[in-house]
Amino acid sequence: MPSDVRLLDACFGPERELAEFHAAHSGSGGIASFLGQVRGRGTELLELRHYAPLTLPGMRDLAQLCQSRWQLDGMLILHRTGQIAPGEPIVLVAAAAPHRRQAFAAVDYAMDHLKSESWFWKRERRAGTWQWIEPRPDDYAAVQRWA
């Protein structure tokens, strides 16, 4: 099962990415996706840093784990790094599967793991001041439901 996993340091076009993913998996019964973007409510800028030797291999391992848990026709994981402005996309996860529930579950699982067990450090600038962002208790609870 092919997967497309990329770590990006520039803005991407989610519509184009999803159109290409759909075209590559037009025979699938269902395609589910999630697009995360920078909130505009007071956030001036978001910055994501990462440790290169772990980040992309970890993202690929996550895609492989999704493939081993569900019958998937394809998986797409795109994640930004660097400084990202409000309204710009941060992450896009999509899964193609013979049936919708498998696609929904794979996307949900991948996002829960990216939110709480990822290889990124996040900080945001509000009113000219930078603050580090830690995963919330809800993020850890969400990933525990998959145990």
Cβ count near 116 (within 10 Å): 17
Where are the domains positioned within the chain?
A: 3-144
> Cα–Cα distance between 59 and 65 in angstroms, integer?
10
Global pTM value: 0.94
Each residue of 45-68: pLDDT tens digit? 999 999 988 999 999 999 999 999
Topology of domain 3-144 in CATH is Aldehyde Oxidoreductase; domain 3 (3.90.1170)
Q: Report yes or no: 91 and 35 within 8 Å, Cβ to Cβ.
A: yes
- The average confidence (pLDDT) of the chain is 94
Q: Tell me the pLDDT tens digit for each residue of 95-127.
A: 999 999 999 999 999 999 998 887 899 999 999
